[in-house]
Amino acid sequence: MILRLPKFLESLQTSNDESNTTKVQVSLARLLSTKLVRVTGAAVVLLLLFGFALRNLDGLDRIRPKPHVLQPPPANGDVNWSRFAYTQYVTDTSYLCNSVMLFEILNRLGSKPDRLMMYPSAWSADDSDSLEGSLLRKARDEYGVKLMPIEVQRKASNDPTWAESFTKLLAFNQTQYDRVLSLDSDSTVLQHMDELFLIPKVPVAMPRAYWLNPKDRVLSSQLVLLQPSEFEFERVQKGIEAAGRSDYDMEIVNTLYRDSALILPHRPYDLITGEFRSKKHNPYLGNDVEPWDPDAVLREAKFLHFSDWPVPKPWISNPSLMDQHKPACDVDETTREENCRGQELWLGFYSDFATRRKRICDMDVRRRKRGVEDGRGTVNPSPYEPIF
């Protein structure tokens, strides 16, 4: 038996269905006419267009200029390290010892590029009776240094200390190499810097002198990565000829390359010992948030330059000035405990230098007084000359 609804109920059901359909159609029309639905619809259309653009991104990339991306350096076996060199210049016996000490470190660290020393042509590695000859042979035979006799570049200046610093710029003339890294020898290499030879080619790359006014954008010549060439050497020679009595190697490279040099990060490539005496470390750290941690800074640094005015260079002993200007201990604001780690490291730099100087060069860190003629012709005593 099939149960059927009474006709009036079927009629009522049909009527209700038609009525509900009409109501739904009216409600849907009203809904579609609202602002919310119009905005939502527009968003959907935009999303569809965006999806279409993403699907065609590969096509856009084919016509868009691609930015330069630094490639990882090739494996050691693919690099001809003999095309590169760490270079030093030498003008007197003190700096000869410094240079040999620096090359000893590079040899000990296993650095791969050549090592080139430019030294006064009046010296000879064959001179068995002189200290200079002995140190030249040590550099050549024990540390694999290539010796290049040169004429010391000297000009009259207001400061005799830097009168021969132009000799450093002869590195621009070492065209037997594709690239050389010139390092000041009054420094200590903490880690080799072989990776610098593999950065994109530029005529000159240098760090900023971060301890000076940043607005002046001064380049530091303590470390200079350069591509030797006749063109650049001619520019440098003209710069030397035009130099005034207060202009030295640093002024020349800044005049020539201040706005064109590739800037190397001073952290980790150019830390000065005076940073450990400073009370304001933001210029070196590069931010106002990071706390000063002398051990952490030393661990990351690769090149440490002895720059501690008025403390003399490390081969010249002056204990009273050292004690007077050594870094102060830091005091914890909460516990009031002293932290003298920065002072310990700073003193250690000088102690280590003296130890290595004796071991490598058989030269003690000493001093004696001598007369120095100032600009007025007056002879004044100076306690800053080493005795060998």
Helix, strand, or coil (residue 62) = helix
* pTM summary value: 0.73
CB contact at 8 A, 315 and 365: yes
Residue ranges in 258-333 assigned as alpha helix (H): 266-269, 282-285, 294-300, 319-325
pLDDT digits (tens, 9 = 90+) for 93-138: 989 999 999 999 999 999 999 999 999 999 999 998 999 999 999 9
Task: Give the domain ranges of the chain.
Answer: 76-266, 273-382
20: which 2 tokens?
């509900």
pLDDT digits (tens, 9 = 90+) for 55-85: 543 443 333 333 333 344 555 568 999 999 9
pLDDT digits (tens, 9 = 90+) for 233-254: 899 888 877 776 666 678 888 9
Confidence at residue 354, expressed as pLDDT on a 0 to 100 scale: 95
CB contact at 8 A, 171 and 228: yes
CATH of domain 76-266: 3.90.550.10
pLDDT grade for 331, boundaries at 50, 70 and 90:
confident
96 backbone dihedrals φ, ψ, rounded to 5°? -60, -45
